[in-house]
Amino acid sequence: MPEALQTYERLFDRLIDGHSEVTAGKMMSAPALKKKGKVFAFYHNEKMTFKLGKGRDLEQEFGIAEYGFLSPFKHKPPMLAWYEIDFQYAQHWELLAREAMKLI
């Protein structure tokens, strides 16, 4: 099992353990974290994607210099409220998941 997936699973276990409203789910067939039935984070291709809202400066807020936006549709623009964070920033995944969870 890839290290990034193991990191996601540990994160999921910590969030589920402390919050009864957090459940497992799917987002575009990928494992996801849900609160009140709404996805706020998911894992795919050794990245985590978090719904943090539009216009966030992740470099200033969290020290994350490299990130992308979720772009699942071929002919539509990226979804600017969803931030893709590579495994190189895995030390921030839990903080970002908690931030996204608060916004639900």
State residue 2's pLDDT score: 87
Average pLDDT by consecutive 10-residue portion of the chain (104 residues)?
Answer: 90 86 91 94 96 96 95 94 97 96 93
Task: Give the whole-angstrom CA distance, residue 77 versus residue 103.
Answer: 23
CB 16 within 8 A of CB 55: no
State residue 89's pLDDT score: 96
State residue 17's pLDDT score: 85
Domain positions in the chain are 3-87+99-103
Q: pTM of this prediction?
A: 0.92
State residue 62's pLDDT score: 94
Nearest to 35 by CA among 48, 25, 44: 25
Token digits for 31?
A: 């494992």
